[in-house]
Every structure is written in structure tokens, then in C-alpha cells.
Amino acid sequence: MWKSLFLASGIFACIVGVEMLLIDSAVILPLSGSGGPEVFTAPDWAPWSLISAGAVTILNFVTLPTKMIKGLPKP
């Protein structure tokens, strides 16, 4: 189960990084209706950091042995 969690978080980080790379800014509207919209602009280093961290996490998933994750070895 841990293995799939790491894979999902790595894929999520890569997707968010690519989205930040393609989109310059995003307008966030409040759900309650009170207050004005806020503009979110990511720093220049954020997309590349997310993509690289996601890629490292996915590569760690691929190289992690399965028997190490399952817990205690069988007697």
C-alpha cells in the first residue's frame, strides 16, 4: 500500500509541476462569496522542483523491492 501511495504522490507532483509550467497565473474565487478573487502566481523554481521531485519519487517506486514493503519475512 505504501508503494502505491508513493507512486500516486509522484504522479501528482509531476502533473501539478507541468500545469504550473504551462499556466502563468490562476484566479482563486472564495466559496463563501465574500471577498474578492485572489491571483496566484507560482515562483519560477516551483514547476521544475515539483517535476523533479515527482520523477525521483516515481523512480524510487520502480526500484523499491516488493518483499521489503510487505513487512516481516516469513519464517
- pTM summary value: 0.74
Percent over 70 (pLDDT), the chain: 85
- 51-65 pLDDT, tens digit each: 999 999 999 888 877
- 37-48 pLDDT, tens digit each: 999 999 999 999
pLDDT, residue 25, reads: 93
Query: For the chain, which residues make up each domain, given as ranges?
Result: 1-20+45-64
Averaged confidence pLDDT in the chain: 87
Burial track 5-36 (b if 16+ CB lie within 10 A, e otherwise): eebeebeebbebbeebeeeeeeeeeeeeeeee
The answer to whether residue 14 scores a pLDDT higher than 60 is yes
Q: How many CA atoms lie within 13 A of 35 on its CB side?
A: 9
